[in-house]
Structures are given as C-alpha cells and as structure tokens.
C-alpha cells in the first residue's frame, strides 16, 4: 500500500500545471518589425534589429522572410494536439543597393484571407520525374558504392 501511495505521489508531483509553450523563429517579431522604416532602413539595420533571415531569395531584389510561431499543448481531452497561439510572417524586399523598399507583415488572421491561384498551381505526376531519377541514382550508389558489381565465381 505504501509503495502504491509513493508511486502515485511521484506521478502527481511530476505533472506540471504550467502551460508549455514552444516557440520557433524570431521572438517578438511584430514589435521588431515596427522599428524598420521603408526607404530608410538598410540590410545592416535589418540584421541588427531582427537577425539573419530564415529564408533569403534573390530575384530582381533580395527577399528576406522571417517567421514567428508559438504553439502550446492543448488539454488532455484533445490527446496532445498542439494549439496554434501565434503565427507571424514578415516579408522584406531589399533592392540592389541594400535599401528596404517593401515590408509586409502577416499574422494568424491575415493568413486565413490569402487566396491561392489554383490555375497556376499544377501537379505533374510523371513516372520518371526529376525526384524519381535523383532517388534512383542515390539508391544505385548505395547498392554499389565502388561502381562495379562484384562477380561471384
């Protein structure tokens, strides 16, 4: 009886009543992005205020993408499903001289209103796509790393 009481006490004491929040990306992104002024801030200012971008694309202008995402474990009745608390995305466009020319901030409610053009998005299910060919070559290198199959006598 004492062992059962001790085990139940250990189990109950290990449970936490505090909500566990998992944070990914840049902390306080919404506050930091207000410090950046278009046609005034440059790449050095951006990196000093926010840090290096999560994604950097170079087209005609450089595009920096920053993300902040917070999730929390939900109630026991939801069986461990995560609840999305915060989901912010900041897209900055920097010209060739390093000057910030465009700033777009999206929060969780803004993302529900984004429409994706279904006419331009297509799925190509070819039998021998690039990925299929790439994975086939990787499999071949795993099966025969030296490049010559050993011949049994």
What confidence tens digit (pLDDT) does each residue in 25-78 have?
889 988 999 999 999 999 999 999 999 988 888 777 788 999 888 888 756 555
DSSP H or E run through 2: helix 2-14
Q: How far apart are CA 67 and CA 81, in angstroms?
A: 21
64 vs 141, which has greater pLDDT? 64
Domain ranges within the chain, ordered by starting residue: 19-111
Most confident of 14-18, 32-36, 69-73, 79-83: 32-36
CA–CA distance, 34 with 151 (Å, rounded to integer) = 68
Contacts (Cβ under 8 Å, ≥6 apart) of 24? 67, 68, 69, 70
Q: What is the 3-state secondary structure (H, E, C) of 76-144?
A: HHHCCCEEEEEEEEEEEEECCCCEEEEEEEECHHHHHCCCCCCCCCCCCCCCCCHHHHHHHHHHHHHHC
pTM of the complete model: 0.61
Place 110 in a pLDDT band, splitting at 50, 70 and 90.
confident
| More confident call, 90 vs 12 | 90
**CB pairs under 8 A, 24+ apart, for 35-42?**
36/92, 36/100, 36/103, 37/100, 38/100, 38/101, 38/102, 38/103, 39/99, 39/100, 39/101, 40/100, 41/99, 41/100, 42/94, 42/98, 42/99, 42/100
């Amino acid at each position: 009886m004492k062992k059962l009481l001790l085990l139940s006490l250990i189990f109950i004491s290990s449970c936490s009543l505090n909500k566990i929040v998992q944070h990914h990306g840049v902390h306080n992104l919404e506050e930091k992005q207000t410090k950046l002024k278009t046609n005034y801030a440059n790449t050095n200012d951006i990196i000093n205020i926010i840090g290096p971008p999560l994604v950097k694309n170079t087209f005609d202008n450089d595009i920096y993408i920053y993300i902040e995402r917070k999730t929390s474990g939900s109630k026991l009745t939801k069986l461990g499903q995560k609840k999305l608390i915060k989901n912010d995305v900041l897209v900055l466009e920097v010209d060739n001289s390093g000057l910030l020319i465009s700033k777009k901030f999206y929060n969780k409610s803004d993302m529900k209103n984004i429409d994706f053009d279904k006419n331009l998005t297509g799925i190509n299910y070819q039998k021998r796509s690039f990925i299929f060919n790439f994975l086939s070559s990787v499999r071949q290198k795993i099966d025969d790393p030296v490049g010559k199959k050993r011949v049994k006598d």
